[in-house]
Structures are given as structure tokens and as C-alpha cells.
Amino acid sequence: MSDTAPTLIHRFEPATDAARPPLLLLHGTGGDESDLIPLGRLVAPGTALLSPRGAVLENGMPRFFRRLAEGVFDEDDLRRRTDDLAAFVRQQQAERGLAAPVALGFSNGANIAASLLLRHPGLLRGAALLRAMMPFREPPAVRLDGTEVLLLSGTNDPIVPAASSAALARLLEDSGAAVTQHALPLGHGLSQMDVALTRGWLAAL
């Protein structure tokens, strides 16, 4: 691995349906490279799955970037980890001959997926952001024309403020992304509604 593409512990499952774009699976706090594999298989049968483990530990729990408190991100670390993840994705694409992936992120993973969209436009074909919030206080100005984004929030989520997920949706739309947003009668955890909506959205890409 080069200095610009850090080694990340990960799992890869090759595609059995070459017509589908690969999925970049990004777990939540305390997850690992195996956490979202079953979800990926459910929502996109046959697609290639690339699932890295976050390189940051918080009280022993893997994360993709540091935070200062719940809902308060270490934005310098977020930028650095986002760039590291982008380099990892590009190297995996080159080594494995992968097309631009669609990110499927939950919670902390959804937040770094949103950061990938904003810092590396064009890297992702699209992103399904499950329980995401605005990653930056002052987000960069980018163009995301042609990028599809699914945002699934929970109306009873104690972790992600509704205003933050709504602001992220507006930012992505203003940047040219095609945003599909659903506020579900749920908390922070995922449900069959998330599975069904994500599967339908991915099938329509």
C-alpha cells in the first residue's frame, strides 16, 4: 500500500451480478467490517461489497473519525479520515476493477459517507445515508450533479437532530444531487422500513 492509501482492515465480496454498482459499506460506532455485510446482501443481492473497518477507537469501539462529544465532530480528523478513506476506495477500485461505488452508511458511517460526497465529488456514484447528520459546520461548496442520495432519518432519533438531517438534505440538493428523503417513525436503530426503502432505491439506480 502507498502512503496515500492507508491499510484499512476490510472485507470484500465479489459481485455475482456485474450489472449492479458495488456497495461501499460503512458501519456505525462499535461496528466492524462484517457489521453491514448482511444488510448489503439484503438490499443489493449479487453486488460487490467492500466493507472497511473504521480506524479510530472510541472506548474500544471502532469509528471512522473522532468526535469531541456526541454530535460534536473533530472536523480536522474527519477531513483527514475522509481523505484516507477516499484513497483506500480508489486503490480498491484500481486493484479490483470496480466501478464507482454507492456508499451505504449507518450513523457514523453515514456521516463519513456524507463527508466523502462533499470532499471528493465524483468518487461515489451515490450514497444511502441512514441516520446521517451535517458533517461540517462550514461545508465545502461542491457540485454533485448526477449523484443520487437517499437520506433516511428517524423522527424519534435521540442522536441525530431533525434540523441537522434536514440541513444536510438541503445542502446536497443545493449542490445538485438528486435527493430522496424519508423521515421514518423510528429512533436511531434500523428497521425493515429502512431495508425496503434502501433496496427499492438501489434497484432504481
List b or e across 162-195, with b for residues whose CB sees 16 or more CB atoms inside 10 angstroms. eebbbebbebbeebebebbbeebebebebeeebe
Give, for 83, the enclosing helix (H) or strand (E).
helix 75-96
Phi and psi at residue 94, to the nearest 5°: -65, -45
Q: Which domain holds residue 180?
A: 10-203
66 domain-assigned: yes
Catalytic residue among 157, 165, 175, 194: 157
Give the count of alpha carbons within 13 A of 204, CB side only.
12
pLDDT single digits (tens) 113-160? 999 999 999 999 999 999 999 999 999 999 999 999 999 999 999 999
Give the contacts of 88 (CB within 8 A, at least 6 positions apart).
5, 6, 8, 10, 52
pLDDT in tens, 80-126: 999 999 999 999 999 999 999 999 999 999 999 999 999 999 999 99
Q: Give the Å distances, CA to CA, from 201 to 4, 81, 160.
A: 33, 28, 22
Annotated catalytic residue 107:
yes
pLDDT attached to residue 1: 35
Check whether 3 has a pLDDT greater than 50: no
Is 4 part of any domain? no
Residue 37 domain-assigned (yes or no): yes
CATH number, domain containing residue 51: 3.40.50.1820
Distance CA 186, CA 170 (A): 21
Catalytic residue, from 74, 77, 188, 191: name it. Answer: 188
User: Is 135 inside a domain boundary?
Assistant: yes
C-alpha dihedral, 139 to 91 to 124 to 110, nearest 10° = -60
**Is 188 a known active-site residue?**
yes
Catalytic annotation present for 157: yes
Closest CA to 130 of 104, 156, 97, 163: 104
User: Would 1 be classed as within a structural domain?
Assistant: no
The pTM of the full predicted model, rounded to 2 decimals, is: 0.96
64: which 3 cell numbers? 471512522
Give me the catalytic one of 27, 51, 107, 175: 107
Is residue 95 in a domain?
yes
Q: Is residue 29 part of a domain?
A: yes
The reply to whether 2 falls in a domain is no
Q: Structurally, how many domains does the chain consist of?
A: 1
